[in-house]
A and B are shown apart, each in its own frame.
Chain A
Amino acid sequence: MTGRLSDEGVTALHGAGGELMGKFLAERILPLFRLRSAGPIGLDQLDDGAVVDLPPGHLVVTTDNHVVKPFLFPGGDIGKLAVCGTVNDLAVMGARPVALTLGLILEEGFPFSDLERVLRSAAGVLAELGVPLVAGDTKVMGRGELDRIAINTTGIGVAEWVISDAGLRVGDAILVTGTVGDHGMALLAAREGFHLATGLASDVAPLWPLLAPALASGGITAMKDPTRGGLAAALNEMARKAGVGIEIHEEAIPLRPEVRALSELLGISPLEVACEGRAVLSVASDRADAVLSLLRDHPLGQDSQIIGEVIPTYPGRVILDTGIGGRRFLEMPLGDPVPRIC
Chain B
Amino acid sequence: MSAGVLTPPSGPTFHLRDPDRARALGDLIRRYAPPYPVRIVHVCGTHEMAIAQHGLRSLLPGGVEVLEGPGCPVCVTPTVDLDRAAKLAAAGAVLCTFGDMTRVPGTRVTLAEARAQGADVRVVLSAADAVDVARSLPDRDVVFFAVGFETTAPGTAAVLLDSPPPNFYVLSSHRLIPPALGALLSGPPAPIAGFLAPGHVSTIIGARAYRFVAERYHVPVVVAGFEPLDILYAIALLLRQLREGRAEVENAYPRAVSEDGNLHAQALLARAFVPCDAVWRGIGLISSSGLRIREELAHLDAEREFPVPAEPGEEKPPGCLCSEVLLARAVPAECPLFRNGCTPLSPVGPCMVGSEGACNVWYRYGGRPDL
Give the residue among A320, A322, A325, A329 with the most B Cβ atoms within 10 A.
A325
* A197 at the binding interface (Cβ < 8 Å): no
Cβ proximity bits B330-371 to A, threshold 8 Å, 1 near / 0 not: 000000000000001100000000010000000111100101
Interface contact B365-A322, CB-CB below 8 Å: no
Q: Considering the complex of A and B, which 7 residue pairs feature the smallest CB-CB distances, nearest first?
A: A326-B55, A329-B366, A328-B55, A327-B371, A327-B58, A322-B55, A324-B22
Q: List 8 A-B contacts (CB under 8 A).
A: A323-B19, A326-B54, A326-B58, A326-B228, A328-B52, A329-B365, A329-B366, A331-B366
Name B229's contact: one of A251, A319, A324, A335 (CB within 8 Å).
A324
The answer on a CB contact under 8 Å between A331 and B371 is no
Chain B interface (Cβ < 8 Å from any Cβ of A): 17, 19, 22-23, 26, 49, 52-59, 228-229, 344-345, 355, 363-366, 369, 371
- Judge whether A196 is part of the interface by a CB distance below 8 angstroms: no
Distance between Cα atoms of A321 and B369 in the complex (Å): 13
Could you give, for residues 15-48 of chain A, a 1 whenever the CB lies within 8 Å of some chain B CB and a 0 otherwise?
0000000000000000000000000000000000
Residues in A neighbouring B365, C-beta threshold 8 A: 328-329, 331
Partner of A328, one of B19, B58, B345: B58
The answer, yes or no, to whether A265 is at the interface (CB within 8 Å) is: no
Taking a contact as CB atoms under 8 Å apart, the answer to whether B344 and A322 are in contact is no
Majority secondary structure, B binding face: helix
Q: How large is the interface on A (under 10, 10 to 19, 20 to 34, 35 or more residues)?
A: 10 to 19
> DSSP class of A's interface residues: helix, strand, loop or mixed?
loop
Which of A319, A320, A324, A335 has the most CB atoms of chain B within a 10 A radius of its CB?
A324
Q: How far is the CA of A335 from the CA of B52 in the complex (A)?
A: 19
Interface residues of A (CB under 8 A from B): 251, 267, 269, 319-329, 331, 334-335
The reply to whether B369 and A329 form a contact with Cβ atoms under 8 Å apart is yes
Residues of A within 8 A of B369 (CB): 327-329
Q: Are B53 and A322 in contact (CB under 8 A)?
A: yes
**Shortest Cβ distance from residue B58 to the other chain A in the assembled complex, whole angstroms:** 4
- Give the residues in chain B near A327, CB-CB below 8 Å: 55, 58, 369, 371
Q: Are A334 and B228 in contact (CB under 8 A)?
A: no
Q: Which chain A residues lie closer than 8 Å to B19 at the CB level?
A: 251, 323-325
Closest to B344 in A: A334
Residue of B nearest to A329 (CB): B366
Question: What distance in Å separates the Cβ of B160 from its nearest Cβ neighbour in chain A?
Answer: 28
